[in-house]
Amino acid sequence: MKNIFKKRIIIPILAGVLFISTTAFKNDFFEIAKQIEIFTTLFKELNMNYVDETNPGDLMDTAIKSMLADLDPYTNFMNEQDVEAARINNTGDYTGIGAKIQTKKDKLIIIEPYKGYPADKAGLKAGDEIIKVGNTLIEGYEDYPGDLLKGAPDSSVEVVFKRQGKTQTATIKRAEVEIKAVPHFSMINDKTGYIVLSKFNKKAHAETNYALRDLKAQGAENIVLDLRGNPGGLLREAIKIVNLFVPKNQLVVTTKSKVKKYNRTYLTTDEPIDTEIPLVILIDGKSASASEIVSGALQDLDRAVIVGSRSFGKGLVQRPKILTYGTQVKITISRYYTPSGRCIQALDYWNRNEKGEAVKVKQENYNAFKTKNGRQVFDGGGVFPDAQVGSYKISPITTAIVNNNLIFDYATKYHYSHNISDINSLKLSDADFSDFKNYLKTNNFTFETDTEKALKKAYEIAQKEELNDNIDRDYNTLISNLNTSKTNIIDENKDYLLELLTKDIVKQYVYREGLYEYLEIHDNEIKKATNILATPTTYQGYLK
């Protein structure tokens, strides 16, 4: 009788829970269905009745991108072209001409030919502007013009290009192209090995493993792992790379999500290569995601000294979901946490300012955590280096200079106007920097600051209100002072700009491989790393 009574109580409770859960699901489902129906009818009416011709594909593309823009910059719709680009990024393999290319509306610009690959063998160089591929002109071509360079292995394509204003032709024989995760490793000195890990694709662990074993065989007693400029990639590769230096069953990262199945704890699963070899990791403001998992985990475990400048601060994990017609959506599914429990996400996309911009987590809101040895580390703003080197306060003006390709364009100009026999002797001078500033002027570089925009708006309002003529004089004075200030900001960023110029110039003379050899001699972060590793007490001092 008691059992029957218990069942009578339990069954209604379970039914109530089921009813509540089902009702909640139905409410969500109804709201989703309702909004889709509204959008579908709106989309139909708009395309049928709008006064001018509409392009349904363009309208839908805008609608999807606008919707996702309200979330975060990593939740993205991927068309078929994007899906293929993601595949290449993850695998590191494709068939083509073997060059990094920038697409513009009327040309394809060779940014970097890969040494020994088809574009390089055909004589193409950085700065060459491809204007025709086969019988197809790039100008006016409606599809993605970069696809014209792809094709079957051993197939040939003729390209017409401009170099320093002169039109030339070349025939390129396509081939399989392998983009290495580890483009370079070598011995810096007789005891220190240097590994550059540029991306976390499917080959990242295997190539880093090979480089580490090879360097140890050459006599390396210390390792410098360079993650600068590495934007991240596959999470599992990051965990495997941490595993090279720490024991099996060690916690590396935890992911937390509102969806229970995405809550995961990731431990190392293999036997390590070396848990004792002194290790320095180099990071900068472009080291993100998987780079921050590796550097953050090894910092928390006191297994490496971190050198450089604060990392980007991306503590979010994405997963692609397959859609119809070969498309995908990449969705942010969780946040990740390093072994100490910190999330290094720097921007808050869910509490934006009045302009709708994501705000940085304020330093006073950072939370303190402890490493394995009890050292204090913080969340909220990327991975902070143990030894800070090469940290620049980058202004919007210098960012605009980079984004407008003026660093690359000047490097190309420099390459064709300077004959350098020994690239390792290159050191840009004050005269070179002055020449660069003149180059900005002659190429009509302009950057309108937020201050200028606000002043312009105020001036226009003043004119409408017919205020006195003194405003004209004051406005012109303010604009003149702002232009002087902008010139001063460029001067204040001289070291940063010269560093970028030097790297691009070196690469144009001796490819990426030669750049790494140049950095081994001249780079301040590498020098700091080797100095730390040169003395065991100095190295251990950072970890205690």
Q: How is residue 477 written in tokens?
A: 């004075």
Amino acid at 5: F
Q: How is residue 421 written in tokens?
A: 């026999």
List Cβ neighbours of 486 (8 Å cut-off, separation of 6 or more): 397, 447, 449
Return the SS3 of 480.
Answer: helix
> Residues 192, 198, 200, 204: is their CA dihedral positive or negative?
negative
Amino acid at 432: D
Per-position b or e across 241-258, b if 16+ CB within 10 A of its CB? bbbbbbeeebbbbbbeee
Please confirm, yes or no, whether 65 is among the known catalytic residues. Answer: no
Please confirm, yes or no, whether 289 is among the known catalytic residues. Answer: yes
For residue 311, report the phi and psi dihedrals to the nearest 5 degrees.
-75, 175
Per-position b or e across 500-515, b if 16+ CB within 10 A of its CB? bbbbbbbbbbbbbebb
Residue 328 in contact with residue 317, Cβ under 8 Å? no
Q: Dihedral (C-alpha) 201, 239, 310, 380: value to the nearest 10 degrees? A: 120
14, 155, 452, 459, 478 from 462: Cα distances, Å: 69, 65, 15, 5, 15
**HEC profile for 496-539?**
HHHHHHHHHHHHHHHHHHHHHHHHHHHCHHHHHHHHHHHCHHHH
CA 373 to chain centre: 31
From its phi and psi, is residue 511 left (phi > 0), alpha (psi between -120 and 50) or beta?
left
Give the separation between CA 324 and CA 523, rounded to whole angstroms: 48
Among candidate residues 287, 289, 295, 334, the one labeled active-site is 289
Give the separation between CA 529 and CA 194, rounded to whole angstroms: 10
Among candidate residues 107, 199, 203, 314, the one labeled active-site is 314
Per-position b or e across 50-60, b if 16+ CB within 10 A of its CB? eeeeeeeeeee
Provide the H-helix boundaries in 50-128: 56-69, 80-91, 118-121
Q: Catalytic residue positions?
A: 289, 314
